[in-house]
Amino acid sequence: MLYSSDIQLIKPKKRWQAVNHSVLQQKNIQLWLCHLDTGLPEVSGNKCLKLKYHLLQVVQSGFAGVVTFGGAYSNHLCAVAASCHAMGLKSVAYVRTDELDITNPTLAFCQQQGMRLIALDRGRYRQRSEPAFITGITASHPDLLLIPEGGSSAAGSLGVSELDLASTPDGNADLILCATASGGTLAGIVNGHDCNALGIAVVRDASLPSRVQQLINKTCAEKQWRVDGSFAGKGYGHFDSNLLAFCRSMAAQKVYVEPIYTGKALAGAIKLVEQDQIPSGSRLSFFHTGGLQGLQGLRHRNLITAADFALLSGSMAD
Ligand SMILES: Cc1ncc(COP(=O)(O)O)c(C=O)c1O
């Protein structure tokens, strides 16, 4: 059984949405967005897939819950907090911050869901993948399953690999695209599909292709995939007024994206079409990986206006 009763709460429903853009029209390209929704709004997009096998392991191995890592505005932390709360599990998060600011809406949400938050300064946070550090964390929380940052692990990619992103309502996609940060989502897409896959990096990280490679099954070695690093701009979390304007233009057609992940990657995809780097006549499938909760953090830091928050989050949509 793919979804046992334990994890029914995070079983997603798939929804396709066509994207219109003058560049796509000019180049005769179809672009379909694939959404995944669960009953828990914070556990949409790639989150429900990346958490599936981790949470199954928690339940089947008798762990009391989960310990994980993330930034102070992390979508992953919200997803872990919400799913653990709904499943009656404990959750603990090591947060990349000097001091926990509970006026931050992401951390406030996590705390409301019962997640225990522990601040880790940037120096110590950088050690999060080192074996000695991981051993220390698991020793401190022997009753909890450790999930790596972003849920990117073999178990996370396995969940993603089960999603059929290739069968768009208009027929098979020629290329599947997604926003890429820690790499687990792209690796899962490659493992689960035969068509080409392209990760648009939203972070500046030269090691990203090798991190993706590590999560790709040996049997998939011949598959065609790549990471495009040309749209990360100044790096993770940075965006300019053009990108914000793009997100607004998408919201006007009820395509809701934010400028950290999905908006940055979707704008990059359209730029690649404009630059003729994607063959004219192609059919594209873009995985909407979720993350709209991040808009609250952007608003909290005054990086977007209240009007943009309402527009981009769809709260003004009917
Ligand atoms: C909304 C959103 N999109 C894309 C990604 C990138 O996924 P990955 O870290 O698997 O590359 C993340 C991070 O998990 C995310 O929160």
- φ, ψ for residue 312 (rounded to 5)? -70, -30
* Equal CATH topology for 5-45+155-312 and 46-151: yes
By most ligand atoms within 8 Å of CB, the mutation choice from 43, 46, 80, 149 for ligand 1 is 46
Rg (C-alpha) for the chain, rounded Å, is 19
Domain boundaries, the chain: 5-45+155-312, 46-151
Ligand 1 touching residue 291 (CB < 6 A): yes
Contact by Cβ (8 Å): 90, 110: no
Q: Where is 232: in which H helix or E strand?
A: none
Question: C-alpha distances in angstroms, 230 versus 188, 199, 212, 224, 269?
Answer: 22, 11, 17, 19, 11
Distance of CA 179 from the midpoint of ligand 1 (Å): 6
178 strand-pairing partners: 199
In whole angstroms, give the CA distance from residue 158 to residue 150: 14
Show the CA angle centred on residue 106, arms to residues 102 and 111, nearest 5°. Answer: 60
Q: Please name the CATH architecture into which domain 46-151 falls.
A: 3-Layer(aba) Sandwich (3.40)
The pLDDT tens digits along the chain (318 residues) read 467 777 888 999 999 999 999 999 999 999 999 999 999 999 999 999 999 999 999 999 999 999 999 999 999 999 999 999 999 999 999 999 999 999 999 999 999 999 999 999 999 998 888 899 999 999 999 999 999 999 999 999 999 999 999 999 999 999 999 999 999 999 999 999 999 999 999 999 999 999 999 999 989 888 899 999 999 999 999 999 999 999 999 999 999 999 999 999 999 999 999 999 999 999 999 999 999 999 999 999 999 999 999 999 997 443
By most ligand atoms within 8 Å of CB, the mutation choice from 51, 185, 200, 296 for ligand 1 is 185
C-alpha 101: how far from chain center: 23
Contact by Cβ (8 Å): 257, 266: yes
For residue 252, what is the DSSP state?
T
Question: C-alpha distances in angstroms, 265 versus 55, 195, 247?
Answer: 28, 19, 11
Residue 277's CB: how many other CB atoms inside 10 A? 12
Distance of CA 72 from the midpoint of ligand 1 (Å): 15
Q: What is the pTM (predicted TM-score) of this model? A: 0.95
Report the pLDDT value the prediction gives residue 1, as an integer from 0 to 100.
47
Contact by Cβ (8 Å): 137, 67: yes
In whole angstroms, give the CA distance from residue 275 to residue 252: 24
Ligand 1 touching residue 150 (CB < 6 A): yes
SS3 227: strand
Report the pLDDT value the prediction gives residue 2, as an integer from 0 to 100.
64
Q: Please name the CATH architecture into which domain 5-45+155-312 falls.
A: 3-Layer(aba) Sandwich (3.40)
Contact by Cβ (8 Å): 156, 68: no
